[in-house]
Each structure stands twice: as structure tokens, then as C-alpha cells.
Amino acid sequence: MSRHADRSIIVTGAAGAIGFATCEILAREGARLMMVDINAPRLNERATQLRASGARVETCAADCGEETEVRRYAAETVKAFGRIDGFFNNAGVEGALAPTHEYDVAEFDRLMRVNLRGVFLGLRHVLPDMVRRGSGAVVNMASIGSERGLAGACAYNATKHGVVGLTRTAASEVAQKGVRVNCVMPGVIETPLLLEVIEQLFPGNAQHGLEKLGQVATLNRCGKPEEVGNVVSFLLSDEASYVNGAQWEIDGGALATIRNDI
């Protein structure tokens, strides 16, 4: 496919499950990639995998919650490819689980820094190139936690609600400048981060946890990282040219109904 032929796209959290699955899809569709992640060894390993398949890939090890490093990955993309056509603002963490009245303040601040400040900083330093050229598309990483309260996840929920707010605001500001901003809201997706949560909820019985959490979706299963990546690729493409300020649910129908059969 040539959906993204000759386009330069930044993916943060690129060494993670959803980030890398999306990179694989974008590379197959012709994109030139700037892969960004805080885990440099894992990032380089992932980039080597894509280069072996013929993809044009650059990497930037960066902390997405640190402004100087976000400014650097944006600048390095422009230096490498001449412009930024797409941006998957994906980096994030799940965090610890605890009731709000017992939640550790330092952990709350950590999630705010990565999941919300990091998304803001990405917008702050990537959008200027797009606005200057009058073209571009951004997809922010939200969650079904952006629409519902998830017990024990006050920090995560707060950050993901915030991502939707940032998405809507940025979309309203740059649409007439030729730039679109949307977000995706994955449900229960099989990733290492999910398994960390499952270990907290179902100690020693991860498979039962996956099956139980999968019942949140009307499809009765957990999603796969590539099922998120395919939607992200679409939203970054010209096929989604009339989609702006939207929140795309990728949740197997979890938000569409109240299950009464489980």
C-alpha cells in the first residue's frame, strides 16, 4: 500500500506494543518514521527490525515529559525528513492502582507528567511545523478511561480525560490552518502494560484476567495492538480528511452498551 508514501511521521512510545505495531503498519504503507521512546535499547532493537524490512527509520531516545527532549525529537524529524506530516502522540504509562483517597501523590504527578504534559508538549512542538506548512495530521492517545470512571485509576483516568480536552481544543485551533487533530480511545488491548495491571488485579492468574477483562467488550475478547494501529493509520491519512476533533473508540463495543449477559 502507498497510503503514506513519502510522508514523515513521528510515533512516540514507539518501542511499546501499540506504538511498534503502528510503526509496522505505517512503514508498510510507505511512511518515513521517526521512532521516539525513553527506552533506548528497546527502541534501537525495534528500529533494526523495521530497517530489515526496508523501512526508512530514524530514532530519538527521549523523555516525552521533558520539554527540551520533545523539542529535540521534533527538530530532528524536520532535519532528517524536511517536514512533519503526521504525529502519533502515543507515549504513556498505566500507573499503580489504588483508591483515590489512598493514591500516592508522587505517582499521580508521574502520570500527569507523562500522559498529559507529554501529550501537550508533543502538540506544542510538533504543530508549529504543520501550521507553518498548512498541512498535517495528529492522533493523540486517549482511552476508554477518557469516558468512564475506572475504579483505582484516578490518575490514569484524569490524564486520559485531559487528552480528550487537549484534542478538542487543538483541533478547533488548527483546522482552518490545514491541520487535523483527533484521538483514539482503545479499550482492553493485550499489551505488556495491560499485563502489569492484570498482575495487580489477578495475581498469578493472568490468563483468567485477560478473559475476564475481555468480557468488557461486546466482542468478548481483548483487542490486539495492530487493531489500534490500523485506525491510527487511517486517521493520519487523507482518507480521514473530514475527521477532526473526534474521539475514535477502539474497544470492541465496550462503551456502546451496558453488558447484561455476563
Active-site annotation, residues? 156
Cα 100 from Cα 102, distance rounded (Å) = 5
Q: Are 179 and 130 in contact (CB under 8 A)?
A: yes
Cα 184 from Cα 140, distance rounded (Å) = 7
